[in-house]
Structure 1
Amino acid sequence: MLPHNEIGTDPGAIRAYAQGIEELGVDHLLVYDHVLGVDRGRPGGFEGPYDKDVAFHEPFVFFGFLAAATTTVDLVTAVVILPQRQAVLVAKQAAELAVLSGNRFKLGVGVGWNEVEYEGLNEDFRTRGRRQEEQVDVMRRLWSDDVVHFDGEFHSFAHAGINPRPSQPIPVLFGGGAPALVDRCARVGDGFIPLGSPGSKSAAQLAGIARIRAEHGKSMDDFEVYAQAQYANGSPERWKSHHDAWRDLGATHLAIATHNAGPTDVDGHLARIEEYQRSLA
Structure 2
Amino acid sequence: MKYTVGIAMTPLHELTALAQTAEECGFTSIALPDSLFYMQTQSADYPYTPDGSRMWNEETPWVDPLIAAAAMGAVTTRIEFYTQVLKLGSRNPVLLARQVGSVAALTGNRFGFGVGIGWAPEEFEWCGVPYAKRGKRVDEMIEVIKSILGGGMVEHHGEFYDFDKLQMSPAPTKPVPFYVGGHTDVALRRAARVGDGWTSAMIKFDDLVSVIARLKELRAEYGKADEPYEIQTVCIDRFGKDGYAELEEAGVTDIITVPWIFDGIGFDGPLEAKKDSMRKFAEIYIH
TM over 0.5: yes
| Residue 19 (structure 1) aligned with residue 25 (structure 2) | no
1:254 corresponds to which residue? 255
For residue 89 of structure 2, the aligned residue among 83, 86, 107 is: 83
For residue 184 of structure 1, the aligned residue among 187, 190, 198 is: 190
Aligned residue for 2:203, secondary structure, equals coil
Separation (CA, whole Å) in 2 of partners of 1:169 and 1:3: 25
Aligned residue for 2:114, secondary structure, equals strand
Cα displacement (A) at 1:40: 4.9
Q: Deviations over 1:186-230 (max 9, x none)?
A: 011110002333522211111111111112211254111112256
1:270 corresponds to which residue? 275
Separation (CA, whole Å) in 2 of partners of 1:26 and 1:192: 19
TM-score normalised by L of structure 1: 0.88
| Residue 4 (structure 1) aligned with residue 8 (structure 2) | yes
Separation (CA, whole Å) in 2 of partners of 1:251 and 1:53: 34
Aligned residue for 1:75, secondary structure, equals strand
Amino acid at match of 1:15: T
TM-score normalised by L of structure 2: 0.86
Moved more, 16-25 or 258-267: 258-267
1:226 corresponds to which residue? 232
Contact 1:29 1:76 in 2 (8 A): yes
Separation (CA, whole Å) in 1 of partners of 2:105 and 2:276: 32
The percentage of aligned residue pairs carrying the same residue is 24
| 1:238 to 1:27, Cα distance in 2 relative to 1, 3 A | closer
Cα displacement (A) at 1:21: 0.7
| 1:126 to 1:48, Cα distance in 2 relative to 1, 3 A | farther
Where do 5+ consecutive residues of structure 1 fail to align?
Answer: none
Separation (CA, whole Å) in 1 of partners of 2:197 and 2:42: 38
Moved more, 172-181 or 109-118: 109-118
| Residue 56 (structure 1) aligned with residue 57 (structure 2) | no
Separation (CA, whole Å) in 2 of partners of 1:181 and 1:145: 27
Task: Indicate the structure whose relative CO is greater, using CA pairs within 8 Å and at least 6 residues apart.
Answer: 2
Contact 2:151 2:169 in 1 (8 A): no
| 1:104 to 1:76, Cα distance in 2 relative to 1, 3 A | same
